[in-house]
Structure 1
Amino acid sequence: MTIQNLIRPAIKALKPYSSARDEFQGNTDNLTFLDANENPFDNGVNRYPDPQQGKLKALISQIKDVPTENILLGNGSDEVLDLLIRMFCEPNQDNILILPPTYGMYEVLANVNAVETLKINLSEETFQPKTEEILAVANANSKILFLCSPNNPSGNNLETLSIELLLKNFKGIVVIDEAYIDFSTEESWLSRLNEFPNLVVTQTLSKAFGMAGIRLGMCFASAEIIATLNKIKPPYNINQLTQEKAIEGLRDRGRIKSQIDCLTEQRNALVKVLKEVKFVKIIYPSEANFIMVKVDDANKRYQQLIENGIVIRNRTTQPLCENCLRLTVGTVEENKKLIENLKKL
């Protein structure tokens, strides 16, 4: 298996659009820019942003210990996932594999791109990949396997040995979605990028970094994969305000660590108290900033909490999640309000 053999022929042959800011790569000091048809009157945002997000990528490279040539940034992780499907999957021919219950956008993005979705449910109760079944279902047109770890909505890490087996034996790209990795005790798969050429890792600033509002997703992969993704991404997909806010937030490492520690502590405290709620039947182990619980009647309990001013996520319609609710870990005050209402119901 080579990456080039997996890329769609039309993408390999594509001549990418070259923006004005891509074409000029020199020192910008004391230059007059009349190349991009911008409004020349300075208001702080009248110029196009850096299409390659150089300063921001340099900071992410430092934090994540990954070279900049192995990083692509997206308008949220959803744009990254969409680009990966467009890069590798031929419409009306290829397919992706997903392991429900999992993040719903994998299937939505496949549908948008006219790509079939093959589903192999995780194991009941433990929510682990059925590796033999996954490899048996995969066929010559299976181009991407999506793994979410820690998994959403179950909250658990997928077993390392299972992921290793899939990376070695699946004949396509394995995308590990690590949106919640900063809350986990497990090490990120970023440290093993060089070991598996078919490995792609996605992360986000929306969860642990507390910047959901700026919509910034991160993709880490081989330089070969990143170079091709850069061919097909929109030229200015990360706006200037997002780049500036991301740099500001990422530099405040003390705040980030403090909030992660607080949320992890609150998650563990919530688990202990949830054991005292009579209608909670199962509390699933979580390595994320949320907890999934099985209750007596998810629809009833969800509506009762709404009536008491608390919005959670009802996951009862998802595979293996009958009567399950997903509770995001909030502030100390928000969690106290949640528990008080759960005990009163």
Structure 2
Amino acid sequence: MDEMIRQEIYKEADRCPVQSIPWENIRDRIFDNTSFNTSFQKKAVIGKICCSFAAVVAIGCLLVMSGFIFPVIARALERIPVINAVFNFVEDRGIQNAMDKGFVTKPNLTATDKDISVTITGVLYDEGRIDIGYTVTTSRPDLSPETFPGDLIIPLGAPGMPGMEFFANGKPIQNTTQATCEKADNGRVGLVEIYPSDDLPEAFNLEVAIYQIGKEQGEWLLGPIPVSRKDTDAATRTFSPMKKETFGETSVMVKEVKISPLSMLIEYESIRPLTEEFYFSAVMDDKGNNIPQCASIRLSHQIKGDTKITVARLVCEAPKNIPEFLVLVPHTAGSQQQNIKIPLK
């Protein structure tokens, strides 16, 4: 974030002529108690920049003390993508990692219907998930987020009643989704996380269709948005432990672990009786720290006699560093818990 701000300031400064201001004016500006006071409260400015960063607060102080540079900084800050505010409030380590490495696609596409505007501010994409940051704004007083906080929420929808749909090169993306949003000045900022169950190409055109916002039905079509996971793929480490464990009548094989800057993918196969279910209740690193799970995607499923064979992908947040091993805590009915240690070599 600091580097992004610096780059924008340098770009803007190159466009601006240098204007000489007498020292007396600067001194009067500094000691003038009636000078403007820039308040960086998250609620007031989340639509412009993420105020959670100390660097931005420091720049705010410079705005007061250095009047001659204010126009340059102000215009630079206006161009800092809202994606930072959107992605940071969810406190996802993988998202922060990917942002720090510059893997964010920033389309800034807007669609408007019923005097409600939706803007896609940024997209992150790797093999395990697609994260879409967006804002919803309106000038309609009857949809004020202060008075009607639920009226600008985009529902994910249900079968036959879609709130949002996603397409890759014009084809629907089969997926599991979750979303979160937060109130802003004149609307909301939000994040949608898509966990595809189908293999998507390395690069494709993403399209987003929204049919309902709050109680308002309409049509907000955004795209095509060219997205690629080329950079995240290049930064991904792949491990093939092929570790097999047995729990009662259930056998599990951890086939592959992939760790990208955005997420960690654990692919495994379970073979179990028809009456039993299996999943991992926890994932930990080599220091015992919990690694949050995002989604579990079933890749294939078949029944042979009295046995179920399932191949699934567990999507987790990316760890801060690649650990020496993972500890997977299985949940199986009617058997004693036995953790699985997966070396990452």
TM-score band by shorter chain is: under 0.3
More strand by share: 2
Q: TM-score, normalised by structure 1?
A: 0.25
Question: Which has the higher relative contact order, 1 or 2, with Cα contacts under 8 A spaced 6 or more apart?
Answer: 1
Larger Rg: 2
More helix by share: 1
Q: TM-score, normalised by structure 2?
A: 0.25
